Protein backbone atom coordinates (compact mmCIF):
# COMPACT_ATOMS: atom_id res chain seq x y z
CA UNK A 1 0.00 0.00 0.00
CA UNK A 2 1.41 3.37 -0.89
CA UNK A 3 1.26 6.51 1.24
CA UNK A 4 -1.45 8.21 -0.87
CA UNK A 5 -3.86 5.33 -0.34
CA UNK A 6 -3.29 5.33 3.41
CA UNK A 7 -3.63 9.13 3.57
CA UNK A 8 -6.86 9.07 1.51
CA UNK A 9 -8.27 6.33 3.74
CA UNK A 10 -7.46 8.27 6.91
CA UNK A 11 -8.96 11.48 5.51
CA UNK A 12 -12.08 9.63 4.39
CA UNK A 13 -12.48 8.01 7.80
CA UNK A 14 -11.98 11.31 9.67
CA UNK A 15 -14.30 13.14 7.27
CA UNK A 16 -16.97 10.49 7.80
CA UNK A 17 -16.75 10.81 11.57
CA UNK A 18 -16.87 14.62 11.38
CA UNK A 19 -19.94 14.48 9.13
CA UNK A 20 -21.71 12.14 11.55
CA UNK A 21 -20.87 14.38 14.51
CA UNK A 22 -21.97 17.49 12.60
CA UNK A 23 -25.24 15.82 11.57
CA UNK A 24 -25.92 14.88 15.18
CA UNK A 25 -25.41 18.47 16.26
CA UNK A 26 -27.56 19.77 13.41
CA UNK A 27 -30.38 17.41 14.45
CA UNK A 28 -30.05 18.62 18.05
CA UNK A 29 -30.20 22.26 16.96
CA UNK A 30 -33.29 21.53 14.89
CA UNK A 31 -34.92 19.77 17.86
CA UNK A 32 -34.13 22.72 20.13
CA UNK A 33 -35.59 25.16 17.60
CA UNK A 34 -38.82 23.17 17.51
CA UNK A 35 -38.99 23.16 21.32
CA UNK A 36 -38.31 26.89 21.45
CA UNK A 37 -41.09 27.59 18.96
CA UNK A 38 -43.53 25.48 20.96
CA UNK A 39 -42.55 27.30 24.13
CA UNK A 40 -43.14 30.67 22.47
CA UNK A 41 -46.57 29.55 21.34
CA UNK A 42 -47.49 28.34 24.83
CA UNK A 43 -46.31 31.56 26.44
CA UNK A 44 -48.31 33.59 23.94
CA UNK A 45 -51.43 31.66 24.95
CA UNK A 46 -50.90 32.23 28.68
CA UNK A 47 -50.25 35.96 28.73
CA UNK A 48 -52.39 38.86 27.61
CA UNK A 49 -51.43 41.43 25.02
CA UNK A 50 -50.60 45.08 25.69
CA UNK A 51 -53.92 46.13 24.18
CA UNK A 52 -55.80 43.87 26.60
CA UNK A 53 -53.86 45.31 29.53
CA UNK A 54 -54.68 48.84 28.38
CA UNK A 55 -58.37 47.96 28.06
CA UNK A 56 -58.46 46.49 31.58
CA UNK A 57 -56.62 49.46 33.07
CA UNK A 58 -58.99 51.89 31.33
CA UNK A 59 -61.95 49.98 32.70
CA UNK A 60 -60.50 50.11 36.23
CA UNK A 61 -59.74 53.82 35.92
CA UNK A 62 -63.34 54.54 34.85
CA UNK A 63 -64.62 52.66 37.89
CA UNK A 64 -62.24 54.59 40.14
CA UNK A 65 -63.46 57.86 38.64
CA UNK A 66 -67.04 56.85 39.43
CA UNK A 67 -66.07 56.00 43.01
CA UNK A 68 -64.18 59.28 43.32
CA UNK A 69 -67.23 61.21 42.19
CA UNK A 70 -69.42 59.37 44.71
CA UNK A 71 -66.97 60.09 47.52
CA UNK A 72 -66.93 63.76 46.53
CA UNK A 73 -70.73 63.86 46.71
CA UNK A 74 -70.72 62.12 50.09
CA UNK A 75 -68.12 64.50 51.50
CA UNK A 76 -69.96 67.52 50.09
CA UNK A 77 -73.26 66.38 51.56
CA UNK A 78 -71.56 65.76 54.91
CA UNK A 79 -70.08 69.29 54.86
CA UNK A 80 -73.43 70.88 54.02
CA UNK A 81 -75.20 68.96 56.77
CA UNK A 82 -72.46 69.66 59.28
CA UNK A 83 -72.23 73.35 58.36
CA UNK A 84 -75.96 73.99 58.69
CA UNK A 85 -76.28 72.47 62.17
pLDDT tens digits, one per residue of 30-42: 999 999 988 888 8
What average pLDDT does range 38-60 have in this prediction? 89
Dihedral class, residue 18 (left if φ above 0, else alpha if ψ from -120 to 50, else beta): alpha
Task: Write down the pLDDT at residue 84.
Answer: 53
Whether 60 and 43 map to the same domain: the answer is no
Whether 2 and 20 map to the same domain: the answer is yes
- Percent of the chain residues past pLDDT 90, beyond the cut: 46
What range does the domain containing 58 cover?
Answer: 48-85
**Sign of the CA dihedral with 54 first, then 55, 57, and 62 last:** positive
Whether 28 and 64 map to the same domain: the answer is no
**pTM of the shown model:** 0.45
Whether 2 and 23 map to the same domain: the answer is yes
Whether 7 and 43 map to the same domain: the answer is yes
Whether 41 and 52 map to the same domain: the answer is no
C-alpha span between 44 and 70 (Å, rounded): 39
Amino acid sequence: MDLNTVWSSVLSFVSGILILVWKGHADEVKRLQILLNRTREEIAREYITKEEVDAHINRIMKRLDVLDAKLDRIIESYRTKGGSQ
